[in-house]
Amino acid sequence: MLHSCGLTINSVEHVYNIFSMYKAMLEKCRIHLD
Q: Considering just the CA atoms, what is the radius of gyration of the chain in Å?
A: 15
pTM over 0.85: no
Distances (CA, A) of 14 to 3, 4, 7, 18: 17, 16, 10, 6
The yes-or-no verdict on residue 2 having pLDDT over 60 is no
pLDDT at 18: 92
Count the alpha carbons within 13 Å of 14 in the hemisphere toward its beta carbon: 6
pLDDT at 5: 58
The model's confidence at residue 1, banded by pLDDT at 50, 70 and 90, is very low
Residue with the bigger pLDDT between 12 and 7: it is 12
Cα(first)–Cα(last) distance of the chain, in Å? Answer: 44
Return d(Cα 23, Cα 32) in angstroms, integer: 14
